[in-house]
Amino acid sequence: MNPPAAGEPRHRAITDAQSRVASRGWWDSDADDYQAEHGAFLGDLDFVWCPEGLREADARLLGDVRGKRVLELGAGAAAGARWLAGQGAEVTALDLSAGMLRHARAAEDRTGVSVPLVQADALALPFADSVFDIVCTAFGAIPFVADSGAAMREVARVLRTGGSWVFSITHPMRWIFWDEPDESGLIARNSYFDRTPYVETDENGVPVYVEQHRTLGDRVRELVAAGFVLRDLVEPEWPAGHEQIWGQWSPLRGRLFPGTAIFVSDLPD
C-alpha cells in the first residue's frame, strides 16, 4: 500500500460490488502500463510465481502437469498458461480484465502458442463441477476479492478430488508497511490485524483500486473451510544478484522479510 496524501484515508469499508467494479476498471486501464513495466520480467512463455523470480520450472509446485487439465486464475497476459501448455498440460487462462486478455492474445500471436482465454470473475467460475486437476494463480484474484473464502470454495467446486490449488499472494506481513522499496518501507506503520481494505479513489471519491488483507491464519482457515489440506507454505527468499525493483519488492526489503507467500494445497479424495 502507498502512503496516503495529507488528510487522505486509504483504509475504508467497501462493498463487494464496488470492489469488483474497481478491479475490472483498474486492470483494464492499467494493462498497457503493467505489461510495459513487467512484461519482460514475466516473459511470454514462462511461469514466474513472484517478484523474487521463483519460476515453476525450478520450483515444480504444481508437480507433473502432463495430461492434466489446468485452470490459471487471474492469468493476466497468460504467460504461465502458455508455459504449462508447453509442458503438456491442457490449460485454460481466465482473467477479469479484457485489457489483460488483449495482451494475452497479442502474446499468442508472437509465440504461436494458444490457450483458451476466458473473461470471468473468480467468484463465479463459468465451469462445471470437478473438471480441473489443478487450479493456480500467481498474484491473481485472491488479493482483490472481498470474499476470498467464496473464491476458495469456487476453486474447490471446479477441482476434481485429489486435485491441487496453488496460489501466490503478497505476504500478509507486508500489510504492516507502506509500499516503499527504500528505507521508509522498513518502518511498521499499520496493524497486521486490521483487515479494512486498502482503497484508492478518483477525484469523485469513487473506488478505482482495492486490495484486501487477510492474515496467514485467515488464509489457512479459508482453505480448510473449503475442504483443502495445506501441503506447503513457500516464502521465497530474495536471491543473490537479483537487483530488480518491482513496486514494494526490492533487494533491501527482500533480504530482511518475505514479500510473497505461496500456498500449496490439495483437495483430498
Q: Does the reported pTM lie above 0.75?
A: yes
Q: What percent of the chain has pLDDT over 90?
A: 88
User: For 202-238, what is each residue's pLDDT tens digit?
Assistant: 988 899 999 999 999 999 999 999 999 999 999 999 9
- Per-residue confidence (pLDDT) for residue 8, from 0 to 100: 54
Of 19-28, 61-70, 99-108, the least confident: 19-28
- Per-residue confidence (pLDDT) for residue 6, from 0 to 100: 40
- Per-residue confidence (pLDDT) for residue 112, from 0 to 100: 97
DSSP for the chain reads -PPPPTT---B----HHHHHHHHHHHHHHHHHHHHHHHHHHH-SS--B-STT--BHHHH-TT---TT-EEEETT-TT-HHHHHHHHTT-EEEEEES-HHHHHHHHHHHHHH-----EEE--TTS--S-TT-EEEEEEES-SGGG-S-HHHHHHHHHHHEEEEEEEEEEEE-GGGGGS-S-SSGGGGS--S-TT--PPEEEE-TTS-EEEEE----HHHHHHHHHHTT-EEEEEE-PPPPTT----BTTB-HHHHTTS--EEEEEEE---
